[in-house]
Structure 1
Amino acid sequence: MKNRNNGTAIVLIVVGALMLFGLFAPLFGKLIGLLFPILLIVLGYYGIRRGRVVIGTIILAFGALSLLAKLSWIIGPLLGIALVIFGISLLKGKKSYY
């Protein structure tokens, strides 16, 4: 059992050192950047469910706005695609009786 704990400790030390040296920085930076706002949303929801409505709402709103800012690079193009598809469906939906 002791050897298993030593192996886990060594793996954690190596991963931590690699993170500090920046080898995994692009991957972990993006994941942490998305996980933190999601964590805030979950904590805000949990606070609201536990009866702390004001602080829960503030934390939830801050998390939602942070997540929206982090995902803005994909929200804009998706909104553009949705508008084009909606416009095409409006054009095809018109029936001409001429």
Structure 2
Amino acid sequence: MNSRKALGALLFISLGLFILLGQLGWIVGNLIGWLVPIAMILLGYYGVKHGKGFIGWILLIIGTVSLLGKMSGLIGWLIAIGLIWYGLRMLKPKRAA
């Protein structure tokens, strides 16, 4: 077995263990919920770069949608803060030139 296959096998084994541990509740928070979409995005990018465009794009799209779903709360907070900031700037009188 060459080193690339060994590294791939170890990656699959570790991801599988993380998923099992996440299902059992041993990992703090939702680490697996964030790790799997990020891994899908990275694997999709790797696939696109190395000639496996179809499966690469599928992994990229699914991983991105999953990650955006995880980040929806943060995105909501950022939009709310941006709207408040913009509204406050609109209330300030403009300086004459």
CA drift at 1:33? 0.7
- Output the TM-score relative to the length of structure 1: 0.62
CA drift at 1:62? 0.5
CA drift at 1:53? 2.0
| Other-structure match for 1:78 | 78
| Other-structure match for 1:31 | 31
Q: How do residues 51-66 of structure 1 correspond to structure 2 at under 5 angstroms?
A: 51-66=51-66
C-alpha distance 54-89 of structure 1, shift in aligned 2 (>3 A): farther
Larger radius of gyration: 1
- Output the TM-score relative to the length of structure 2: 0.63
Percent identity, please: 42
Separation of aligned partners in 1, 2:49 and 2:25: 40
Give me the CA root mean square deviation.
2.6
Q: How many residues align?
A: 76
Q: Deviations over 1:32-70 (max 9, x none)?
A: 110000000000111111122222111101001001111
Q: Which runs of 5+ in 2 are unaligned?
A: 1-17
Which runs of structure 1 show a deviation greater than 4 angstroms over 4 or more consecutive aligned residues? none
CA drift at 1:73? 2.0
C-alpha distance 59-23 of structure 1, shift in aligned 2 (>3 A): closer
